[in-house]
């Protein structure tokens, strides 16, 4: 571990070497010699510490972080409340396995999930470790609760990298390539992608298109669940047209199909509400959470209507680490922080700043085809201005230019052409402004 730079860490963007610097490059060589090449790397700067909205690398550079570890460190990195809770918990009880002998933290997290997720019906939860694992369990619950087997996912969906989750994930390369066959009875239907749908298509029309495909290809009576991301993250920060989710939810209700909301990325204040489902008043049957839930520690959950959750027989859920006490303590501290600091409001404020600045950039550069998102979950789609076709190469060059200037900006999307903005919800506004200045400069340089 390097501590040489610890005493002089900057509280703003600060470059003392190029990015990546020499120490990062040496570590990248070590990485290449020992870490499997299938593990990706967006920014080759090794990080040794973080601060509010900042990442400090091993060369003494301070970068502004617009990615939050893929939407995880919403409450800060490190968040003092989470650090204190973790220290206390790890020192008193590190692990028992909740299936062997229970502890209060697990129950307390389930109580919070019942309170916070949409709807005031009786709920139950199961805790797990990763998002993909929670997705897998949601499918088990839906099948057990309905006695049906078909699971329906949307175009542009991302639900994780385990085999079943990959079957639900839409994009082939790099996620699925070479890894099939995937579990059967998973079906894909069109979603609502306003920027690329026929002009003027409403949410209601997009839902009708989706339902038509579902009924024709699968048959309503065979479907256990429709799994949706209320705002699609990896697919390209896609906000469905108003009414799409409510229509789909109503259809599920009428047909005995569970509406499963994957709120792994969009949940826990990210979009300016506790859950993205809240924006449209959607009450899912099951809600899947992970990422920001535990302030940086691995924890996930499935929360749902008691009668569906309890269709799973005793012993039907489990896992050695699911709901680990340290992760639960972190989650309780993270949730407390979200409440006390009103992080939904902070996310809305970040959304206003991002929307204003990105829209102004788009007005000058037609290469920025659309700015979209909610709260601190935003995207800017980079296109060939003449045709509107996706331009992944320019998106990539833009992201790289920002990274070299000290801003961790990542790309995302089915077509790889969307700039993704997922800052921490405690990101200081001056840092956010500086990062957007950098982006504006890079756009001017690249697009003229
Ligand atoms: N569902 C909506 O966003 C994780 C993936 C990073 P895990 N997204 C980041 C990558 O390339 O592996 C995600 C998500 C949604 C499920 C998941 C999966 O969550 O915790 O990564 O398993």
Q: Is the CB of 106 under 6 A from ligand 1?
A: no
| Cα–Cα dist 448/438, whole Å | 15
Q: Is the CB of 234 under 6 A from ligand 1?
A: yes
379 CA → ligand 1 middle, Å: 17
| Cα–Cα dist 399/401, whole Å | 5
pLDDT at residue 7, rounded to an integer: 57
Residues 6+ apart with CB under 8 A from 194: 201, 239, 240, 241, 372
CATH number belonging to the domain at 81-340, selected among 3.40.30.10, 3.40.640.10, 3.40.50.2300, 3.30.470.10: 3.40.640.10
| Cα–Cα dist 46/55, whole Å | 10
**Ligand 1, from 41, 158, 168, 319: best to mutate by most atoms within 8 Å of Cβ?**
158
pLDDT at residue 8, rounded to an integer: 76
Q: pLDDT tens, 376-401?
A: 999 999 999 999 999 999 999 999 99
Which ligand 1 atom is nearest residue 175's CA? 11
Q: Is the CB of 247 under 6 A from ligand 1?
A: no
CATH 3.90.1150.10 fits 22-77+343-447, yes or no: yes
Q: Which residues of 54-76 are buried (b: 16+ CB within 10 A; e: fewer)?
A: bbbbbbbbbbbbbbbbbbbbbbb
**Ligand 1, from 173, 290, 301, 410: best to mutate by most atoms within 8 Å of Cβ?**
290
End-to-end alpha carbon distance in the chain: 42
Q: pLDDT tens, 71-87?
A: 999 999 999 999 999 99
Q: Is the CB of 139 under 6 A from ligand 1?
A: no
Return the SS3 of 17. Answer: coil
- The residue contributing the CA closest to ligand 1 atom 7 is 131
Q: Is the CB of 141 under 6 A from ligand 1?
A: no
| Cα–Cα dist 402/13, whole Å | 12
225 CA → ligand 1 middle, Å: 19
pLDDT at residue 6, rounded to an integer: 53
How confident is the prediction along the chain (448 residues), in pLDDT tens digits per residue?
444 445 579 999 999 999 999 999 999 999 999 999 999 999 999 999 999 999 999 999 999 999 999 999 999 999 999 999 999 999 999 999 999 999 999 999 999 999 999 999 999 999 999 999 999 999 999 999 999 999 999 999 999 999 999 999 999 999 999 999 999 999 999 999 999 999 999 999 999 999 999 999 999 999 999 999 999 999 999 999 999 999 999 999 999 999 999 999 999 999 999 999 999 999 999 999 999 999 999 999 999 999 999 999 999 999 999 999 999 999 999 999 999 999 999 999 999 999 999 999 999 999 999 999 999 999 999 999 999 999 999 999 999 999 999 999 999 999 999 999 999 999 999 999 999 999 999 999 999 9
131 CA → ligand 1 middle, Å: 6
Domain parsing of the chain, residue ranges? 22-77+343-447, 81-340
Q: Is the CB of 160 under 6 A from ligand 1?
A: yes
Instruction: Give me the sheet containing 377-382, strands edge to edge.
Output: 368-374, 377-382, 418-421, 410-412
pLDDT at residue 378, rounded to an integer: 98
DSSP string of 349-381? HHHHHHHHHHHHHHHH-TTEEEEEEETTEEEEE
pLDDT at residue 385, rounded to an integer: 97
Give Dmax (Cα) for the chain.
64
Which ligand 1 atom is nearest residue 300's CA? 20
Q: Is the CB of 233 under 6 A from ligand 1?
A: yes
Number of Cβ within 10 Å of residue 354's Cβ equals 24
40 CA → ligand 1 middle, Å: 14
**Ligand 1, from 291, 373, 422: best to mutate by most atoms within 8 Å of Cβ?**
291
Fold match, 22-77+343-447 / 81-340: no
7 CA → ligand 1 middle, Å: 35
- The residue contributing the CA closest to ligand 1 atom 1 is 159
Q: Is the CB of 132 under 6 A from ligand 1?
A: yes
Tell me the Ramachandran region of residue 286: left when phi exceeds 0, alpha when psi lies from -120 to 50, beta otherwise: beta
pLDDT at residue 5, rounded to an integer: 47
What is the model's pTM?
A: 0.98
């Amino acid at each position: 571990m390097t501590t040489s730079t610890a005493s002089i860490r900057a509280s703003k963007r600060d470059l003392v070497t190029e990015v990546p610097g020499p120490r990062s490059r040496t570590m990248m060589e070590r990485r290449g010699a020992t870490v499997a090449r299938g593990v990706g790397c967006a920014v080759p700067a090794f990080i040794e510490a973080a601060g509010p909205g900042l990442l400090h690398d091993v060369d003494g550079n301070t970068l502004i972080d617009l990615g939050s570890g893929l939407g995880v460190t919403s409450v800060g990195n490190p968040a003092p409340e989470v650090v204190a809770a973790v220290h206390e918990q790890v020192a008193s009880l590190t692990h028992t396995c909740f299936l062997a002998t229970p502890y209060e933290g697990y129950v307390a997290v389930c109580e919070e999930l019942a309170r916070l997720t949409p709807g005031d019906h009786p709920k139950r939860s199961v805790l797990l470790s990763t998002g993909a694992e929670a997705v897998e369990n949601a499918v088990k619950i839906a099948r057990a609760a309905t006695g049906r087997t078909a699971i329906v996912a949307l175009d542009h969906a991302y639900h994780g990298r385990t085999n079943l989750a990959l079957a639900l994930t839409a994009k082939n390369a790099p996620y699925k390539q070479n890894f099939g066959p995937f579990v059967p009875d998973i079906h894909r239907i069109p979603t609502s992608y306003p920027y690329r749908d026929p002009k003027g298509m409403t949410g209601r029309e997009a839902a009708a298109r989706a339902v038509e495909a579902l009924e024709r290809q699968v048959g309503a009576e065979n479907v256990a669940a429709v799994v949706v991301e209320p705002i699609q993250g990896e697919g390209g920060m896609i906000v469905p047209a108003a009414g799409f989710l409510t229509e789909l939810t109503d259809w599920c209700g009428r047909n005995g199909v569970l509406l499963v909301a994957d709120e792994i990325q969009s949940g826990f204040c990210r979009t300016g509400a506790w859950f993205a489902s809240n924006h449209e008043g959607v009450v899912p049957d099951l809600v899947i959470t992970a990422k920001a839930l535990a302030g940086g520690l691995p924890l996930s959950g499935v929360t749902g209507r008691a009668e569906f959750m309890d269709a799973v027989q005793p012993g039907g859920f489990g896992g050695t680490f699911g709901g680990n006490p340290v992760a639960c303590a972190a989650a309780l501290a993270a949730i407390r922080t979200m409440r006390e600091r009103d992080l939904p409001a902070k996310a809305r404020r970040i959304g206003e700043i991002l929307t204003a600045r990105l829209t102004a950039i788009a007005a000058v550069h037609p290469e920025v085809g659309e700015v979209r998102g909610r709260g601190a979950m935003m995207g800017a789609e980079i296109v060939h201005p003449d045709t509107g076709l996706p331009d992944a190469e320019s998106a990539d060059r833009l992201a790289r230019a920002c990274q070299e200037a000290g801003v961790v900006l990542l790309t995302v999307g089915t077509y790889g052409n969307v700039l993704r903005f997922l800052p921490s919800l405690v990101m200081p506004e001056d840092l956010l402004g500086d990062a957007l200045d950098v982006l504006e400069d890079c756009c001017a340089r690249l697009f003229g």
